[in-house]
């Protein structure tokens, strides 16, 4: 779990990269976060928006990247099966005591100005970030505000995939 201070977007992306490499994965992984220079929906190339989104084990989470931003808050139609790069289930493993995921985005995938922990570089109680609950009603893009000292899940998205399917792991 991470507080809002992840050494910025690049620090969060590097953490995803490092964890993926340690797990023996070759693709490019980026953090599922909006920032000053990046909208959430733009993490994946537009040409890949209709590809399924799968977890690290290949289970389909969403029918497409596009469907996450379709207006239903990225609602999981079944309990999410999200795993760390080491294979731990983040919904049951005590490593992640708070079952929320940081994102800093509006429901459309656009960055939520001033709601991404000072560009993911602050763990101050005075700064806010947007996060979503993974339980009991799991939505990837719920609009809940939290102070940046909270430690939540950061999802990692594979943005270069040889199989044409997006894999998601948690860091």
Q: Helix, strand, coil proportions of the chain in percent (round to 5)?
A: 20, 25, 55
pLDDT (average), residues 133-146: 92
Query: Any bridge partners for residue 147, and if so which?
Result: 128
88-96 long-range Cβ contacts below 8 angstroms, 24+ apart: 90/134, 90/153, 90/170, 91/134, 91/135, 95/1, 96/1, 96/152, 96/153, 96/170
Q: What is the pLDDT of residue 76?
A: 87
Residue 116 contacts residue 35 (beta carbons within 8 Å) = yes
3-class SS of residue 89: strand
How is residue 30 written in tokens?
């980026």
Least confident residue range of 9-13, 76-80, 81-85, 103-107: 76-80
User: At residue 170, does pLDDT exceed 70?
Assistant: no
CA separation for the pair 108, 85 (Å, rounded): 27
Q: What is the pLDDT of residue 166?
A: 52
CA separation for the pair 4, 19 (Å, rounded): 19
Q: Where are the domains of the chain?
A: 8-170
Instruction: Give the model confidence (pLDDT) of 2-56 as tens digits.
Output: 999 999 999 999 999 999 999 999 889 999 999 988 999 999 999 999 999 999 9
Tokens 């490019």, located at residue: 28
**What is the CATH superfamily name and number for domain 8-170?**
Mannose-Binding Protein A, subunit A (3.10.100.10)
């Amino acid at each position: 779990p991470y507080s809002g201070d992840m050494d910025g977007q690049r620090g969060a992306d590097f953490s995803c990269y490092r964890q993926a490499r340690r797990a023996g994965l070759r693709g490019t992984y980026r953090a599922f976060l909006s920032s000053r220079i990046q909208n959430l929906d733009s993490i994946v190339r537009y040409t890949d928006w209709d590809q399924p989104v799968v977890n690290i084990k290949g289970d389909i989470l969403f029918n497409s990247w596009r469907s996450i931003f379709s207006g239903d808050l990225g609602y999981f139609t079944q309990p999410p099966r999200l795993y760390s790069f080491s294979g731990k289930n983040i919904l049951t493993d005590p490593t992640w005591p708070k079952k929320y995921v940081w994102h800093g985005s509006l429901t459309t995938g656009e960055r939520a100005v001033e709601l991404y922990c000072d560009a993911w570089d602050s763990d101050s109680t005075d700064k806010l970030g947007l996060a979503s609950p993974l339980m009991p009603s799991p939505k990837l893009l719920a609009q809940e505000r939290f102070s940046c000292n909270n430690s939540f899940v950061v999802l990692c998205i594979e943005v270069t995939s040889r199989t044409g399917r997006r894999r998601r792991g948690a860091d």
